[in-house]
Structure 1
Amino acid sequence: MTQTFDVEALIRLRSQTRAISDALKAQASDYLATLALLIRPQTFFGEYLQGAQRSSGRETQHHFKELKELYDRIGSASPFQLVNELEVPLTLISTTPELFPLEYDKVLSQSGQSIRITSPVRWVVGFSSFDLARFRTVIKDPNRSSAELHRFVVHYLVLFYCLSQSPGVGRVLEGLRFPLSFERLKYFGDLPFCVIGSPVRAQLPDESVIRSSTQIAGNTSFEELVGHENIVEMNDEIRQRLLLTIEGM
């Protein structure tokens, strides 16, 4: 990984990173689209969704009750502080899963400057039309629309609930080497997000490289980098598991 600020080397590394990220995201999106039928909200909430057919009353009632408990606990707390009730039937604008960039903040030790870091190999799963960056903007807006904020919280909670209640989907993605995890992100309180990883590791260069790059670009954002060595060091988990299975036989 780049340790000194070499503009040409950094440009090449960024180009490689973008190409690798695009390929991985396309693969992850394809897998997610294939599995989307297994995480349909209608399966869990039945008649509690607008336009959905009736299903097992006791089962859908149980799922809706758990979702409502999540919403009441998370939605009423900071930073959302929603007073809206969870309406019945629920109106979902979109149930098509989409991948959004996973971002986090890093404070540079020497300057104390906060840099927004983007991962090229991990993504947050959301429903289309509910962009994560827009969600963050709505939260920070003092004049925000409570109705819009409510819609964001509900859609991300519904997706989390469906995926957390579908462990088979997680096992399939794990087998495909795009593991699914549930994480909390800064600025979003206790709201759990669904995050899809990949078999490739990305990393940050020295802070001096980040500082020089952002100064030249005139912004406060940086993307983790994927180099040739990150591809070479990829492990074949199935191979390792089989070797452990026969070890000592």
Structure 2
Amino acid sequence: MSRCAVEKFATFPRPRPDPGNGREGFKDDVPMTQTFDIEALIKLRKQTRAISDALKVQASDYLSTLALLIRPQTFFGEYLQGAQRSSGRETQHHFKELKELYDRIASAEPFKLVNELEVPLNLISTTPELFPLEYDMVLSQSGQTIRITSPVRWVVGFNSFDLAQFRKVIKDPNRSSAELYRYVVHYLVLFYCLSKSPGMSRLFEGLRFPVSFERLKDFGDLPFCVISSPVRSELPDESVIRNSTQIAGNTSFEELVGHENILEMNDEIRQRLLLTIEGL
């Protein structure tokens, strides 16, 4: 499968890389220009956690309800370990595309796997789960790298294949190639199944939790499925991030969501209906 073949799976136009945050994705973290005192920041963090937890519960519920539609058996049939033989031609086509995708991505940086794609595929887990979307931000004055977490967007993976652990495996100089292979294959299979199921994307968009396919820093050309919520998160000024991490004694920060962000939510159905009757 060519590079263009991966790009065409995206449900939205591919966003431009944001050099400020070190990730490839939608730039939903418009800087907050207000000056925060510590009490205001603590309050906003509490609001962020409450909003994020509520949104994640809802997104996870939608994902678990629709999980039966994410069936690797439908696409790969007899190419999966323990699966029954199928009609053949269609599953051959899907497996060929998956293999081309694997050969191109797995052999390149940062994976550099020499393993062939095994047949049959041994999928340890096929239950989808949401993992935090994280990226690095370099503070302009100090040059310090801060790990930023989005409270309103999540990466979809199979459970038992935590995204943070995947990143650790990649960076481990003594990593197990077998373990790295399993991570790459499971995320590729999930991407393939979701990208070939446009009905799923339409369902999630209708539920106001749109799906997109993005590449994340540290993972080369491996595409990930990202679920976004209808609320936008923001980053405060760098000075707030710097002071907050210094007080906390760590190098991590979470984007913020508050009352104003909720009020700014758009009702897409209302907008669509207004456009429908405009001029009638």
- Shorter-chain TM range is over 0.9
From 249, 252, 268, give the equivalent of 1:237: 268
Distance, in Å, in 2 between the alignment partners of 1:74 and 1:183 is 14
Aligned to 1:45: 76
Distance, in Å, in 2 between the alignment partners of 1:123 and 1:88 is 31
From 208, 211, 227, give the equivalent of 1:180: 211
Instruction: Kindly state the Cα deviation for residue 34 of structure 1 after the two structures are TM-superposed.
Output: 1.0
Aligned to 1:148: 179
Runs of 5+ consecutive residues of structure 2 not aligned to the other structure: 1-31
Q: Is the CA contact 1:5–1:208 (under 8 Å) kept in the aligned structure 2?
A: no
Q: Is the CA contact 1:173–1:179 (under 8 Å) kept in the aligned structure 2?
A: yes
Instruction: Kindly state the Cα deviation for residue 2 of structure 1 after the two structures are TM-superposed.
Output: 7.2
From 31, 42, 58, give the equivalent of 2:89: 58
Aligned to 2:64: 33
Identity %: 88
Instruction: Kindly state the Cα deviation for residue 3 of structure 1 after the two structures are TM-superposed.
Output: 2.6
- Equivalence map 1:63-82=2 (5 Å): 63-82=94-113
Q: Is the CA contact 1:119–1:223 (under 8 Å) kept in the aligned structure 2?
A: yes
Secondary structure of 1:195's counterpart equals strand
- Equivalence map 1:132-211=2 (5 Å): 132-211=163-242
Question: Mean Cα displacement is larger for which, 37-46 or 147-156?
Answer: 37-46
Aligned to 1:225: 256
Aligned pairs, how many?
A: 249
Aligned to 1:94: 125
Structure 2 counterpart of 1:186, one-letter code? K
Q: Is the CA contact 1:3–1:206 (under 8 Å) kept in the aligned structure 2?
A: yes
Distance, in Å, in 2 between the alignment partners of 1:93 and 1:7 is 46
Q: Is the CA contact 1:5–1:212 (under 8 Å) kept in the aligned structure 2?
A: no
Aligned to 2:139: 108
Question: Mean Cα displacement is larger for which, 54-63 or 3-12?
Answer: 3-12
Structure 1 counterpart of 2:118, one-letter code? E
Structure number having the greater helix percentage: 1
Runs of 5+ consecutive residues of structure 1 not aligned to the other structure: none
Distance, in Å, in 2 between the alignment partners of 1:38 and 1:100 is 20
Distance, in Å, in 1 between the alignment partners of 2:85 and 2:72 is 13
Distance, in Å, in 1 between the alignment partners of 2:209 and 2:36 is 32
Distance, in Å, in 2 between the alignment partners of 1:53 and 1:183 is 33
User: So what's the TM-score if we normalise by structure 2?
Assistant: 0.88
RMSD after superposition: 0.8
Deviations 1:25-74, CA, capped at 9 Å, x for gaps? 01001111111111110111001001112222001010000000000000
Distance, in Å, in 1 between the alignment partners of 2:275 and 2:33 is 35
Is the aligned partner of 1:130 residue 2:161? yes
Instruction: Kindly state the Cα deviation for residue 97 of structure 1 after the two structures are TM-superposed.
Output: 0.1
Distance, in Å, in 1 between the alignment partners of 2:217 and 2:67 is 27
Structure 2 counterpart of 1:117, one-letter code? I
